[in-house]
Amino acid sequence: MESLLCQKARANWFKSGDSCTKFFHSTLRWRRLKNEIKGVEVRGQWCEEPPTVRIEAKKMFENRFKASRDFEVVLEGVEFKALTQKDNDSLVAEFSEKEVKEAVWQCDGSKSPGPDGFNFNFIKNSWEC
């Protein structure tokens, strides 16, 4: 039954939007009341004082999300692949116009254009030999 009411409320919200309507404000009030923490149980006793509720909520979240060593990653003895100096030099070396032209001519010219709106056919036709 509650699910049906939620669906009807959502449909009404889609129609009226989130303008300052009575429906909008009643929905906000309902959500606020539903999400409110009324109190907490501290050492077997129910407590509703806001400072105590605040402190206990903070403790609960700190305990829940504190770092634990269960998920610690140990990388001892693991060897990572690394580039050789020769590979590194070839990656940072300047490229020639000939290399760029070869790369452009290897691409299919009719593919979709790049961010500038030009495809490789345009670049190939505009290239001065």
> Tell me: the pLDDT tens digits for 51-73?
888 898 899 889 888 877 777 77
Q: Pairing relation of β-strands 40-42 and 45-47?
A: antiparallel
- Report residues of the chain scoring pLDDT below 70: 1-2, 16-20, 129
> Can you say how many angstroms the Cα of residue 129 is from the centroid of all Cα atoms in its chain?
47
Buried/exposed 94-105: b ≥16 CB within 10 Å, e otherwise: eeeeeeeeeeee
The answer to pTM > 0.85 is no
**53, 47 contact by CB (below 8 A):** yes
Determine the pLDDT at residue 29: 87
Residue with structure tokens 């999400």?
A: 35
CA distance 40 to 116: 60
